[in-house]
Structure 1
């Protein structure tokens, strides 16, 4: 019995020892496993850190490569832009040089054409001058004793240095008001104003008519006056003029219009219809003689009923348009000294013809 109990105790002790050994072994195994797990985790972490480091390194390398490519591309773009700018600058310079050369060639061509044109015009002027001088030499000087004809001629050089925009009746008893005196036209070539040309011809005509025995009354003998168209007609009336010659020059927008004409009151004129016949005869004599002497185109006699200077006249009246100052040829001719003498001879011959001399 005692041996049996001892046997049980031994078994119990042995069991306990086995349990302890098993527990220790399990602990040892667990500890070893834990250590292994720690090592594995550390290794995994290390590998993760290495991979992260490698990835960062690769990212940094890629970033550096991208930056390098960007810099290279920027440098290339800059180089291309500079090259393009140089090319454009060279092209612009070459274009400017070509344009300048073309401009200089055109200017040279224009200058040559102008010089040739001026040479032709000078030759024409010389030829015309010789012809005019020859024509003038063919005129016989008409000379009569002073005042011997007994006729008084009123010469009215049209316009004045400053126009007067004031108003006056168009004719006796008229309710229509017209500008007292207009400014007139001017020469497109000479630059001479109409009022200056008309006074020049008017004063020359005065001398010529006086030499032919006429008594002459001038409405003005200077440009610095202020005399309305009605007042000019009144001067002729007060002087007892046998005829009034109004001297003017034409001007229009077209440079092609040329020639001389005469304006007179016609039979339908509401103010002086009784002077239509004698005025028309006076105008015809003047325009025909004038154009024959000068070679100016004859535009004929034109009836008028709206010109104040004509409508207030009390004696035969004719307004001579010497030529077109807006026509280069007419304008140049009318400024030529010899041509002006022919103009005056033509007008005076017309007046002589009207009075039967």
Structure 2
């Protein structure tokens, strides 16, 4: 035990002597380490206060257009719902609520245009994929997905059959004018909600909640208004 105390005492004295007489060795690098810490801290502060706030989309005013869609029955399918919330947003607003909000805005615009609108579900309601099959003239399923890679951003339109392609292309072109996101194109894929229909139908991924910019933007009510306007314009372009 006495031996341990002696060794400990020598170690302490060695450290104290080093700190007292070898300042020229440790002070310069210590200074630069402190300076580096200050610079990194300042960078993090600037990013969090200024750059991150840049995610707010630039407000772009647009005028709503009057459309005449009388005689058309349009089925709107807000994805997920009820016990199936879909993808989770960093803003704690799930996919089911986001796409329902957009569908509700779109329903209002379509009804103003004279169209008959059928929603496959109401707010907070769960409906199976089979139960979403409805008769109509046009069908649109709305989604906002999430991916493991947070860098993935953009909107995508999908169709299941050749007779649905032109309608999906029209929606894609209109979204390209209104959306702030990268256009990931119009793709063929057999999602059940459009695969089980024999009339023009499309599924839209409006954005990716795993991407911070997409998430911040798509949860904004004014941007949701833009998406509703883009979709009704795409419908009108397809029909006329």
TM superposition score normalised by structure 1: 0.57
Match in the other structure for 2:74: 153
Partners of 1:280 and 1:203 lie apart in 2 by 25
Partner of 1:249: 144
Evaluate the alpha carbon distance shift between residue 111 and residue 280 of structure 1 in structure 2; reply closer, same or farther with a 3 A threshold: same
* Structure 1 vs Structure 2 CA RMSD: 3.2
Corresponding residue number in structure 2 for 1:221? 122
Q: In structure 2, what is the equivalent of residue 120 of structure 1?
A: 51
C-alpha contact (below 8 Å) 1:203/1:221 kept by paired residues: no
Aligned twin of 1:142: 66
Normalized per residue, which structure has more helix? Answer: 1
Cα distance in 1 between the residues matched to 2:229 and 2:174: 8
1:111/1:262 Cα in 2 relative to 1: closer, same or farther (>3 Å)?
A: same
Q: Which residue of 2 aligns with 1:185?
A: 87
* Distance in 1 (alpha carbons) for counterparts of 2:77 and 2:152: 24
> Partners in 2 of 1:246 and 1:262 — Cα distance?
10
Structure-to-structure mapping, 1:1-357, within 5 angstroms: 77=3, 80-81=6-7, 83-84=9-10, 86-87=12-13, 106=37, 109-117=39-47, 118-123=49-54, 125=56, 128-129=57-58, 132-134=59-61, 136=62, 139-142=63-66, 149-163=70-84, 184-187=86-89, 189-223=90-124, 225-233=125-133, 236-237=134-135, 241-266=136-161, 276-277=162-163, 279-305=164-190, 307-356=191-240
Distance 1:304 1:319 in 2: 9
Counterpart contact for 2:143–2:206, Cα < 8 Å: yes
User: How many aligned residue pairs are there?
Assistant: 230
Q: Is the 8 A contact 2:157 2:172 kept in 1?
A: yes
The CA deviation string for residues 218-237 of structure 1, in whole angstroms up to 9 with x for no partner, is: 111212x231111101xx22
Structure showing greater Rg: 1
Gaps of 5+ in 1: 1-73, 164-182, 267-275
Structure 1 pair 115–151 and aligned structure 2 pair: CA distance change class (3 A) = same
CA shift for structure 1 position 84: 2.5
8 Å CA contact retained: 1:159, 1:184: yes
Cα distance change on mapping 1:81 and 1:345 into 2, 3 Å: same
User: Normalised by the size of structure 2, how large is the TM-score?
Assistant: 0.82
Cα deviation for residue 104 of structure 1 reads 11
Segments of 5+ residues of structure 2 without an aligned counterpart are 20-25
| SS of aligned partner of 2:60 | helix
Q: How much does 1:115 deviate?
A: 2.6
